[in-house]
A and B are shown apart, each in its own frame.
Chain A
């Protein structure tokens, strides 16, 4: 389980996150939703070790993650698929995948590599092609595949739906949901598109201006009309 306790982040005068606490259990998808600037990406980047928190902590199965650098956090089992540029466009599909988890043994990596191709057959068909020739959806699959190559116990997905057709978003998120259940990993999903996120998530939290304004089951949040109007804008 990924546990976030009282996490605060500050960029100079801006308080980006304020005392955020959240549990992300294994086998489930937990959604973080909120408007632009709510602190969703900051939360993800802090968990991945790219941003230093001002106070508070995060831990995975009892191992404290905060204070470690990104390259060590991923070794501890937390892999982030960042928003937007999350593959290396100049490298081939195969090379992008091989990049994930270079510290692991060759046999382990080969096994995961094959699993990723099973999961995303289109990547296997395009393995020799450069990542920048892929479509948006294929590239997102590649980004998730690269993260899976790191053998994560916890997967952080930052806005996987950005710029993708709704049908492809649904496919990818359904796959992530299945993955969480089958491999028993904890998935934290950040989305601006609340409807889509809450459809696959078990539980969710709503962030606003760096603070958790509500947490509960996905269906509770989805049916909370006032909250939807106030923070999610639909």
Chain B
């Protein structure tokens, strides 16, 4: 029983990362009805930029701020240069184009930073915390990760529910024509949505990098987990992405704990398959299932 508790607690940190990446996917989906498979590529590229800044300045916070800025800019570039022209054709074309962007970003990162895994320095202690005379499967760094994820979720929720920009973004997502007729500059609003997603994904990348390592392909598996969480959460729902992101992290941690970590991707795909079989619109989604 204590072992199960340890596995569950150990999954919260990775769950928070998955939640952030799922959040990024949901943000672009809500804004443009495109699942952005390049999201992890953007996060990887952004994280490499952060690593370069970290190496240069030796300061983790400066690197994180650099990642936030780079993530926003990269989001704008991808939306403007690739999605806008392709979206005029059709949505499935846009989704395939995001795969193209992913491959291009991975190739570019390989050319700039090399294809090998590189360690990202630990900003905070990564040893297990000892409280009440017992070692817990959480480190100080895990707590920082969870804290950052919580702050971003609260900030995004406030942005969407309390500000004019958030209102414009929601209206644009649900009914772009009425938004336009109300005076919302829809094109600009969509671009801001992609920039935001780029920021959230970039932060997820910088947060996960110290616990693993970074290479052009190292986040690919994160895409599988985040996509699973986002889809089960309903794709439209910020709360769904966060809840299912953490949930996915916990399930994967338990599966890895009792069997082997190489089974985690399989477990994620099983979750996804179950979701599609039982509740294809997602737990928090209110869209009807759509056959294609």
| Contact A82 to B177, CB < 8 A, known contacts A71-B183, A103-B183 | yes
- Interface residues in B168-192 by Cβ distance below 8 A to A read 168, 170-171, 174-175, 177-186
Residue picked from A89, A90, A146, most chain B C-beta under 10 Å: A90
Cβ of B167 and Cβ of A95 under 8 Å apart? yes
State in angstroms the CA–CA spacing of A48 and B180 once bound together: 10
**A154: B residues at CB distance < 8 A:** none
State in angstroms the CA–CA spacing of A95 and B177 once bound together: 16
Cβ of B174 and Cβ of A90 under 8 Å apart? yes
State in angstroms the CA–CA spacing of A101 and B168 once bound together: 11
Cβ of A88 and Cβ of B180 under 8 Å apart? no
State in angstroms the CA–CA spacing of A90 and B234 once bound together: 15
Q: Chain B 63-102, CB within 8 Å of chain A: the 1/0 string?
A: 0000000000000000000000000000000000000000
**B178: A residues at CB distance < 8 A:** 82, 85-88, 99, 146
Q: Identify B180's interface contact among A70, A91, A101, A147, CB under 8 A.
A: A70
Cβ of B182 and Cβ of A101 under 8 Å apart? yes
Indicate if B164 sits at the interface (CB-CB under 8 A).
yes
Q: How many residues of A contact B (CB 8 A)?
A: 28
Indicate if A74 sits at the interface (CB-CB under 8 A).
yes
| Contact A50 to B170, CB < 8 A, known contacts A101-B182, A102-B184 | no
| Contact A146 to B183, CB < 8 A, known contacts A88-B174, A95-B167 | no
Cβ of A99 and Cβ of B174 under 8 Å apart? no
- Of chain B, the residue at the smallest CB distance from A81 is B181
State in angstroms the CA–CA spacing of A100 and B186 once bound together: 13
| Contact A88 to B184, CB < 8 A, known contacts A82-B178, A102-B164 | no
**A103: B residues at CB distance < 8 A:** 183
Indicate if A128 sits at the interface (CB-CB under 8 A).
no
| Contact A74 to B183, CB < 8 A, known contacts A82-B177, A88-B178 | yes
Cβ of B177 and Cβ of A71 under 8 Å apart? no
- Of chain B, the residue at the smallest CB distance from A95 is B167
Smallest distance from the beta carbon of B157 to chain A beta carbons, Å?
15
| Contact A99 to B171, CB < 8 A, known contacts A75-B183, A150-B183 | yes
Cβ of B180 and Cβ of A71 under 8 Å apart? yes
Smallest distance from the beta carbon of B29 to chain A beta carbons, Å?
15
Cβ of B180 and Cβ of A99 under 8 Å apart? no
**B184: A residues at CB distance < 8 A:** 71, 99, 102
State in angstroms the CA–CA spacing of A119 and B170 once bound together: 26
- Of chain B, the residue at the smallest CB distance from A98 is B167
Ordered by A's residue number, 25 sampled pairs between the chains whose C-beta atoms are within 8 Å are A50-B181, A69-B180, A70-B181, A71-B183, A74-B182, A74-B183, A80-B181, A82-B177, A82-B178, A85-B175, A85-B177, A86-B178, A87-B175, A88-B174, A88-B175, A89-B174, A91-B170, A91-B171, A100-B183, A101-B183, A102-B164, A102-B182, A102-B183, A102-B184, A147-B181
Taking Cβ atoms with an 8 Å cutoff, the residues of B that contact A are: 164, 167-168, 170-171, 174-175, 177-186
Known A-B contacts: A82-B177, A90-B170, A91-B174. Give 7 more (CB < 8 A). A50-B177, A70-B180, A85-B175, A85-B178, A88-B179, A149-B182, A150-B182
Nearest 7 interchain pairs by C-beta? A70-B180, A74-B183, A90-B174, A88-B175, A99-B182, A100-B182, A88-B174
